[in-house]
Each structure stands twice: as structure tokens, then as C-alpha cells.
């Protein structure tokens, strides 16, 4: 589950992407995206540190998206806001750390349990860009179907 902070970050980025490089004042972003202003300040600072947005000073100042939406993946944003997205540190591609309670990674049951599902999830997170999500909201809103051996197909929510 993504954090509320990440959810707000995506809403703010959608607002900024629609402005196509124009500066937008934080009050306007907060209002349009329905994000609390104080919380938005912290989010935009995280996105600025990640090189996704920039701030401009002055009367026409505000925030502007500086990376092309085609170059911003869902994974980029999640990492910028929430940090590593891997369920276990030993399978993280950006923040690898050996688990302290694991004697052997090659035979670790928990690592094997999550490695393949994380790889599949990562393909989607790194393969879906902000531009794609903004271009085709119908596809994104339906999401992939979830099914199992003894389950009927249920749309993801």
C-alpha cells in the first residue's frame, strides 16, 4: 500500500504535468489537488531533491516539473517520497542490505517467497510513466486483474 504522502505526490505531479512547464504556486497546487498545503511543502521538497521538480522565486514563482513526464516512473516517485520500495532489504535494487537474521540468502525461504513477486511488481512500477498514466486514465483505473488457483478474476482496486 502506498503512503498518503505518495498519493498526494502523484496528485501534485499530475497538476504540474498538466501545466507543461509553467510555474504553479503552492496554494494553487494544494487547492487543485486537494492536498493540505503544509504537507505539500514537504512533498515538493522531496520531489525537488529527487530532481523531478524545481522551485522558482519571485512574483511569477512557484513549482515547475523539470523532468519530462515520459521520464518519471511510478517507482521514481515512490522512492523519492517513501524510500526503498522492496518488501525486504535483501532484494532491494537501490538499497540492498543483508538481513541480519538470515544465515544464507540463497536458501532463505522468505527471500524466495518475495523475490519473484517483487520483480513482477518492479517491472510495472518502473515500466509505467507519469505520461502514460495521464494519457490513459481508463487503463490505469481498471488495473490488472488479480486471480489465483481457486479464485475468480477480480479487478484490482
What confidence tens digit (pLDDT) does each residue in 32-41 have?
A: 999 999 999 9
CA distances from 95 to 12, 91, 131 (A): 26, 9, 26
30 vs 27: CA distance, rounded Å: 5
Distance of CA 132 to the CA centre of its chain: 13
Give the per-residue pLDDT at 60.
77
Query: What pLDDT is recorded for position 37?
Result: 93
Domain boundaries, given as residue ranges, for the chain:
4-65, 69-138
The Cα diameter of the chain in Å comes to: 60
Q: CA nearest 63: which of 16, 17, 5?
A: 16
- Render pLDDT for 51-77 as a digit per residue (tens, 0 to 9): 999 998 888 789 999 999 999 999 999
pTM of the model as a whole: 0.79
Residue pLDDT, tens place only, 87-107:
899 988 888 999 889 889 888
- In this structure, whether the domain defined by 4-65 belongs to CATH 3.40.190.10 is answered with no
Amino acid at each position: 500500500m502506498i503512503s498518503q504522502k505518495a498519493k498526494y505526490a502523484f496528485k501534485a505531479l499530475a497538476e504540474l504535468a498538466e501545466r507543461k512547464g509553467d510555474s504553479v504556486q503552492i496554494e494553487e497546487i494544494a487547492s487543485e489537488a486537494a492536498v493540505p498545503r503544509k504537507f505539500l511543502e514537504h512533498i515538493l521538497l522531496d520531489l525537488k531533491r529527487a530532481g523531478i521538480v524545481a522551485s522558482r522565486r519571485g512574483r511569477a514563482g512557484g513549482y515547475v516539473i523539470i523532468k519530462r513526464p515520459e521520464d518519471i516512473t511510478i517507482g521514481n516517485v515512490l522512492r523519492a517520497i517513501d524510500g526503498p520500495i522492496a518488501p525486504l532489504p535483501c532484494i532491494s535494487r537501490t538499497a540492498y542490505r543483508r538481513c541480519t537474521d538470515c544465515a544464507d540468502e540463497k536458501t532463505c525461504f522468505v527471500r524466495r517467497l518475495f523475490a519473484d513477486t517483487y520483480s513482477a511488481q518492479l517491472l510495472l512500477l518502473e515500466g509505467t510513466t507519469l505520461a502514460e498514466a495521464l494519457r490513459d486514465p481508463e487503463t490505469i483505473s481498471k488495473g490488472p486483474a488479480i486471480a489465483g488457483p481457486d479464485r475468480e478474476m477480480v479487478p484490482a482496486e
